[in-house]
Amino acid sequence: MRIFGIDPGSERTGYGCVETDGRRYRLVTCGAITAAPADAFPQRLARIYRELAAQLSACRPDCVAIENLFHAVNARSALLLGHARGVAMLAAVEANCTVVEYTPAEVKRAVVGYGRADKNQVQQMIKLLLGLDEAPSPHDAADALAVAICHLHSMPTYAAVAARPPAGRRRPAAAGLKSWRQYRPPANG
């Protein structure tokens, strides 16, 4: 299954595509669409749309996950972000993809385990989850990958497959652990 994540922004929009077999993640692509500072806002939106449409066509994802708007103090910034989200959603819908939305807190909770994690923590967890040598950069690309992984963690089929032990191997019954939270390291000495 392939999930394409989008972290919308009016100045820089992050994107990332993750593929999974239900057990492991594999990075397909990631990056950020950056508009020239001299470009007028409509040209920025057109560039976001064109580049996302090209990436979606190349990746052919099963679903697009996009970060939802959050409460913003600055109304102008929220409106600009809303326009960027709109063209991102349009590109996804025109690529015949289902679109799902997650708040920033939901994404951080699903990937880092803490809804108020900072950008560096998200980047480091994405590096670990995808088995990368370096954390994805810029942070917008890591955020987009985090949105995609959040969707994978939210899917009921993913949870069922991930909970199943690999074929031919069983979890030790003697351990009696149902969660990693129950694990206690052996005492030294």
Pairing of strands 25-34, 12-20: antiparallel
Tell me the C-alpha to C-alpha distance, in Å, between residue 104 and each of 1, 7, 20, 24, 51: 23, 10, 22, 23, 23
Residue in the block written with tokens 């409509």: 42
Catalytic residue among 7, 51, 106, 143: 7
Q: Is 21 labeled as catalytic in the residue annotation?
A: no
Catalytic residue among 51, 67, 106, 143: 67
Q: Is 39 labeled as catalytic in the residue annotation?
A: no
Residues in the chain, total: 189
Catalytic residue among 11, 51, 62, 140: 140
Q: Residue 160: count other Cβ atoms within 10 Å of its Cβ.
A: 10
The residues carrying an active-site annotation are 7, 67, 140
